[in-house]
Amino acid sequence: MGSYRVCVCFRRSFKSGEAVVPQEIRELFIKYSEGGAHMTPDQLRRFLAEVQGEVVEEIDELDPQKVVEEVLQKRHHITKFARHNLALDDFHHYLFSPEFNPPIRSQVNQDMTAPLSHYFIYTGHNSYLTGNQLSSVCSDVPIIKALKRGVRVVELDIWPNSTKDDILVLHGRTLTPPVELIKCLRSIKDHAFVASPYPVIITLEDHLKADLQKKAAQMITQTFGDMLFCPIDENLNNIPSPEELKHRIMISTKPPQEYLNSKSVRESSKQLLKSNSKDSDEDEWRKEVTDVVNVNTQNEDDKGDSDTNQLNDDDVSSDDEYESNQESEYKRLIAIHAGKPKGSLKEALKVEEDKVRRLSLSEQALEKAAESLGTDLIRFTQKNFLRIYPKGTRVTSSNYKPMVGWMHGAQMVAFNMQGYGKNLWLMHGMFRSNGGCGYVKKPDFLMNVGPNNEVFNPKDKLQVKKTLKVREDII
């Protein structure tokens, strides 16, 4: 009820009218109430199952008896105990109420028992930054905010401090004030499973020497304890499912490698950095050296490949003092091995039968690869992990279009969660599905393999199988 004054002295009351029930809703009500004036909880259950496709038994808030009681209590306070069935107006109110019948429910509704690589994963980029990429403060606060939103992949850039005896998290070679690694790890532990019970993956961009890698391993082990998932055999055929990895923490980074100390290699590294700096789209403050040993032996064909100048942002190792046959404590913590094999991108996208690995590409490297290697990307991501990260010129923490990565099966489309804009809204909207758990099952066409070993080609022009027409009624 509402009211308004007339000539100061009088008050008139009015009752707001409800929208007219559309004919389609009337027909559904008549059908499922079996021609009666009211719909019982059992009849509502049948409607929810047959028309809306709801699995009523698996969703507590869809208990028909409870739904009827809540709708009546809200709309008819006095008569809430008089009847326990829905009238046509009640049924109409229920259908168009975001409170009782929301378009996206908070329960997980997809199969969570497939290998981890079968899912798109809610992924952050430089998760510790509070603002822009050059001068904003590094903190655990944005990490906490991201985890509370449901983000499942957190990225940390780890560097030695000035005295080389402790580990900091910061955006290297910029003006970003650092935060201690241990503080970030503790915050991840405390907030990892607030929004979702499914696994959290920490991707480390490692700039440490062997002694500090050992210290990092101790920090990680002591902080997470039994929460850590450490595979016994690094040559896994598949990573376990999200269901099997509930409440587990996973580490993904490049394993320690033996780097040669020769003068020619160091010179090749400098030469590679100098040549890459000419590309305005490349990361101007984080040139990452990979395959430096192979620089002088590349042929002309490899130089023309789309990934020659697009180096992985986590393929960094400043340590040239590893012993070749010594397996470190740090290496044993790695659940998903990152790194790019030597050679062209086509070589890097080859699937190995007994190994699962993660490859990182910049957004522009993905766009170039999608032109000629679309099916290779699809086949690679059916088993392995592909991570896409923003190009270096996005200094304001803006984001790119995520659909290109998702269309090619990339599980980890990494976004600046502290950013802004339409692309970030698309990312948030994507991961509101499946109960907001941070994992969304890939569609079958990205996982299917045909009888002749063919896979989906994103560049194919397919016929439209079904046209969906939507009519919007303004109420």
CB-CB contact of 178 with 160 (8 Å):
no
- Give the strand pairing for 10-14 and 385-389: unpaired
Comparing CA positions, the residue from 460, 451, 445 lying closest to residue 118 is 445
Q: CB count, 10 Å around CB of 277?
A: 12
Amino acid at position 358, single letter: R
Same domain, 171 and 285: yes
Give Cα separations from 331 to 97, 234, 316, 337 (angstroms).
Answer: 52, 9, 15, 9
- pLDDT, averaged per 10 consecutive residues of the chain (475 residues), comes to 59 65 94 94 93 73 86 76 84 90 83 97 98 97 98 98 97 97 98 98 96 95 97 82 98 73 43 42 36 35 38 47 56 91 88 92 96 96 98 96 98 96 96 96 96 94 82 63
Same domain, 89 and 160: no
Please check whether residue 461 lies inside any domain of the structure.
Answer: no
CB-CB contact of 439 with 112 (8 Å):
yes
Give the pLDDT confidence score for residue 424 in this predicted structure. Answer: 97
Q: What is the DSSP letter of 324?
A: T
Question: The domain that contains 35 carries what CATH number?
Answer: 1.10.238
End residue of a domain, out of 95, 129, 148? 95
HEC per residue, 34-62: CCCCCECHHHHHHHHHHCCCCCHHHCHHH
Q: How far apart are CA 365 and CA 374, in angstroms?
A: 12
Amino acid at position 149, single letter: R
Same domain, 295 and 397: yes
The token pair at 473 is 């009624």
Please check whether residue 251 lies inside any domain of the structure.
Answer: yes
Which domain range does residue 150 map to? 116-447
Question: The domain that contains 169 carries what CATH number?
Answer: 3.20.20.190
DSSP letters along 66-98, please? HHHHHHHHHH-STTTTT--SB-HHHHHHHHT-T
Q: How far apart are CA 189 and CA 216, in angstroms?
A: 15
CB-CB contact of 373 with 328 (8 Å):
no
What SS3 state is found at 107? coil
Give Cα separations from 108 to 54, 114, 196 (angstroms).
Answer: 12, 14, 10
CB-CB contact of 337 with 395 (8 Å):
no
Same domain, 140 and 89: no
In angstroms, how far is CA 464 from the centroid of its own chain?
29
Give the pLDDT confidence score for residue 468 in this predicted structure. Answer: 82
Residues 6+ apart with CB under 8 A from 159: 167, 168, 169, 170, 172, 178, 207, 208
Cα distance from N-terminal residue to C-terminal residue, the chain: 19
Same domain, 212 and 320: yes
Domain total in the chain = 2
Please check whether residue 417 lies inside any domain of the structure.
Answer: yes
Give Cα separations from 206 to 160, 217, 382, 391 (angstroms).
Answer: 10, 12, 27, 19
Same domain, 146 and 42: no
Q: How far apart are CA 133 and CA 137, in angstroms?
A: 9
Please check whether residue 7 lies inside any domain of the structure.
Answer: no
Comparing CA positions, the residue from 186, 183, 156 lying closest to residue 172 is 156
End residue of a domain, out of 95, 125, 141? 95
Same domain, 135 and 61: no
Q: What is the DSSP letter of 99?
A: T
Same domain, 299 and 414: yes
HEC per residue, 112-171: CCCCHHHEEECEECCCCECCCCCCCCECCHHHHHHHHHCCCEEEEEEEECCCCCCEEECC
Please check whether residue 2 lies inside any domain of the structure.
Answer: no
What residue has token string 């499922």?
A: 32
What residue has token string 């009337």?
A: 26
End residue of a domain, out of 44, 60, 95? 95
Query: DSSP strand E in 174-257: where?
Result: 179-180, 200-206, 249-253
The token pair at 294 is 């192979």
Same domain, 174 and 244: yes
CB-CB contact of 299 with 322 (8 Å):
no
Q: How far apart are CA 440 and CA 438, in angstroms?
A: 7
Please check whether residue 100 lies inside any domain of the structure.
Answer: no
What SS3 state is found at 56? helix
Phi (first) and psi of residue 388, to 5 degrees = -110, 135
Please check whether residue 59 lies inside any domain of the structure.
Answer: yes
Residues 6+ apart with CB under 8 A from 439: 110, 112, 119, 120, 121, 122, 152, 196, 198, 242
Q: How far apart are CA 255 and CA 249, in angstroms?
A: 17
Q: How far apart are CA 108 and CA 352, in angstroms?
A: 32
Return the active site residues: 125, 171
Same domain, 90 and 124: no
Same domain, 54 and 182: no
Same domain, 121 and 89: no
Q: How far apart are CA 387 and CA 312, in angstroms?
A: 9
Please check whether residue 453 lies inside any domain of the structure.
Answer: no
